[in-house]
Amino acid sequence: MCGIIGGIYQNNITPILIDGLKYLEYRGYDSAGLVVLTNDNVLQRVRAIGKVVNLENNINSEIINGTIGIAHTRWATHGKPSTKNAHPHICNDSIGVVHNGIIENFLELKAQQQAQNYIFTSDTDTEVIGHAIHQALKKYGTLLKAVQSAITTFQGAYSLGVISPQNPGHIVIARSGSPLIIGLGDNGNFIASDQVALISITKQFIFLEEGDVADITKDSVIIFDKNNIKVEREIKISKLKNWQTSKGNYAHYMQKEIFEQPQAISDTLESRITKDKVLTLAFGHKAEIIFKKIKHVQIIACGTSYNAGLVAKYWIEDIAKIPTHIEVSSEYRYRNPIVLDNTLFITISQSGETADTLEALRVVKKINKNIHSLTICNNSESSLIRESELIFLTHAGPEISVASTKAFTTQLVSLALLSVTLGKCQQQISQTQEKVIVNGLNHLPSLVAKALEQEDQIIELANTFKDKFNALFIGRGSMHAIAMEGALKLKELSYIHAEAYPAGELKHGPIALIDKNTPVIAVAPNDELLDKLKSNLQEVKSRGSQMIVFEEESSKVTPMQDMNILSITNNLGRITAPIIFTIPLQLLSYHVALIKGTNVDQPRNLAKSVTVE
């Protein structure tokens, strides 16, 4: 994905563009650029490789001044990171365009445009957009009609911001498959991929719907739907606060977001539970009727959200006794799945814009009309929210760091609430059982806060990874999914090759990898599988591995040579344990990354939300 910001302002737009790009840098940081329409009605562009600060430094040495502009921070899809591939792209000094998404038929369009003597100066798919709009502008005369015409030739996903000296005073935008919003200000109007880029300017936002095109001036916003019919879209007031998008006193966004988890979990539970029960209405007014009919559950997600879904499989089958399957979205959508009637199709996504997850939902709705859909998401205005029958919003707040932390734990909390609710509706859980689980959930924020107090000890453990290049994570039952999340965080942040296995699977191959140079990290709650896990730890130690064991106090793992044991907390249940044991794994990955000297908030090659395939 990439980040877009633009606007029409009463003063110089450039500082607003730069400031917005900094907030959007989590969406991509291979390169950045901006173009403004100067007071002389000329498109003036600056681009730079790498982070937004490089662009800012270039601008300091040039005069970039205008009231209309668009800007972009890129996560490369077509064409490697380079100045020539950075956005904005300009066609014949007449069209400036920024683009998030992928034009799948760009090679076909490129061949046609080259035959029409259009010159290409980059390796990107975006240039065909500028050329197509330029060609349409010659025919229709207005930028709005040119964009409306050009997008009918595009196949794929896009959000676009377009300006032209031939239509000064206007920005035309379009959305299909990639998010784009409009910010309404007192001294102008603005566009962005995410409201965090504009929150210091305005609290009023319009969220474009699929297929929308909008013509924006300093004083007006006119929106057309996919049929080119003029429509009104609701103006929404953002509850986002400026402090939520800043690092505050923390060194990194990730560190801040790790320590925000007690509050994020508390916010996600608020108004969803009482002291002894889960409120079914939290999932929507139709939830109880739907949940009583459910015979199967299918979970679809990617990355960290997939790991959350793996935990939920254990919970739902254990508590609600409903057969539950989970699959990676990108695989599910490209096979021919069998979708049974009365299936609850659950999508999980922090952003609600994950392309493969969104398309999987669309595919399954076409396959079987007798299914019900639920999305668990952190973005109330996302595409998944709009296209799902039932919604459950996590209240994680803005998550800026690419590596997910509080979004993951609030997803787990949400899935725990769902598991209990399904159990009630299926009459598989008693009031006493529900009360016990809810009591554990009510204690979660304080348990997470206690786990965070272990940071100093975890820093000492992280120092042992200074010269390591491989690591194994092990767990049993739902803790295997937590081990997977721990491995994912370590590889994302520190670039250490890390894998996770069910502890009982080691003898079937992975144990061959274990030696003194490959640390093994184990998660050891005091559950019904603890004795078997202890046997697995003995197997690992006999191969000479350095070990780290995060245990529940009552687990009492026997210390061995080169084994570091850290007690996290005690009296955990099947619901609270996976959430609590996530915390030390996050802290370990964070501090190993610091020791390795990697970019914690913006790991190489990664973007926060994958809005393209």
Amino acid at 568: I
Element (H, E) at 331: helix 329-332
pLDDT tens digits for range 162-175: 999 999 999 999 99
- The whole-model pTM stands at 0.74
CATH number at 488 reads 3.40.50.10490
For residues 480 and 382, state if they share a domain: no
Which of 48-62, 206-220, 347-361, 450-464 is least confident? 48-62
Residues 132, 47 share a domain:
yes
**Is residue 302 among the annotated active site residues?**
no
Tokens of 415: 């899935």
398 and 489 share a domain? no
**181: CATH:** 3.60.20.10
pLDDT tens digits, 480-510: 999 999 999 999 999 999 999 888 777 787 7
pLDDT in tens, 262-285: 989 988 988 788 878 898 988 988
Residue 445's pLDDT band (cuts 50, 70, 90): very high
Answer yes or no: are the C-beta atoms of 178 and 159 closer than 8 Å.
yes
Check if 608 is active-site.
yes
pLDDT tens-digit map of 540-558: 776 777 888 898 888 888 8
Q: E strands within 217-265?
A: 221-224, 230-231, 235-237
The Cα-based distances of 275 to 157, 437, 442, 581 in angstroms read 45, 10, 7, 24
Kindly state whether residues 211 and 239 are assigned to the same domain. yes
Assess whether 335 and 422 both reside in one domain.
Answer: yes
Question: Which of 63, 72, 25, 58 lies closest to 42, judged by CA?
Answer: 63
Please classify residue 573 by burial: count the beta carbons closer than 10 Å to its beta carbon, then call 0-12 exposed, 13-18 middle and 19+ buried: middle
Looking at the fold, whether 372 and 505 belong to one and the same domain comes out as no
514 in the same domain as 389: no
**Would the pLDDT of 1 be above 70?**
no
**pLDDT by residue (tens digit) across 327-377?**
999 898 888 888 899 999 999 998 888 888 999 999 898 888 889 999 999
Chain Cα centroid distance, residue 403 = 9
Residue ending a domain, among 187, 215, 245, is 245
Average pLDDT over residues 89-111: 92
Do both 253 and 237 map to the same domain?
no
Instruction: Tell me the pLDDT tens digit for each residue of 14-47.
Output: 999 999 999 888 777 789 999 999 989 999 999 9
Domain boundary among 451, 474, 502: 451
> Does residue 548 share a domain with residue 562?
yes
- Please state the domain count of the chain: 3
Q: Where residue 569 falls among pLDDT bands split at 50, 70, 90?
A: confident
Domain boundary among 245, 264, 282: 245
Same domain, 21 and 81: yes
> pLDDT at position 564, please?
87
Residue 559 is classified by DSSP as P
Averaged pLDDT, 474-485: 93
pLDDT value of residue 21? 94
Percent of the chain with pLDDT over 90: 63
What is the C-alpha separation between 362 and 258, in angstroms, rounded?
33
Q: pLDDT of 590-609, one tens digit each?
A: 999 999 999 998 888 776 55
Q: Which of 406, 468, 489, 608 is catalytic?
A: 608
What count of residues does the chain have?
613
The b-or-e profile of 267-303 (16+ CB within 10 A means b, else e) is bbbeebbeeeebebebbbeebeebbeebebbbbbbbb
* pLDDT at position 613 over 70: no
Identify the pLDDT of residue 431: 93
Peptide bond into 323 cis (omega under 30): no
pLDDT category at 81 given cuts 50, 70, 90 is confident
**Domain that includes residue 498, residue range:** 453-613
Place of tokens 């800026």: 400
Task: Tell me the pairing of strands 520-524 and 497-502.
Answer: unpaired
Mean pLDDT along residues 224-236 = 95
- Can you tell me the distance from the alpha carbon of 446 to that of 266, in angstroms, rounded to the nearest whole number? 9
Catalytic residue among 2, 91, 302, 425: 2
The answer to whether residue 324 scores a pLDDT higher than 80 is: yes
Tell me: pLDDT of 242 over 80: no
Q: Which of 520, 531, 580 is nearest to 558 (CA)?
A: 531
Tokens found for residue 390: 């039932």
Whether 207 and 193 have beta carbons less than 8 Å apart is answered as: no
Q: Same domain, yes or no, for 330 and 400? A: yes
Q: Which of 172-176, 185-189, 454-458, 516-520 has the lowest mean pLDDT?
A: 516-520
If asked whether residues 409 and 477 sit together in one domain, one would say no
The dihedral through the CA atoms of 267, 268, 271, 275 has a sign that is negative
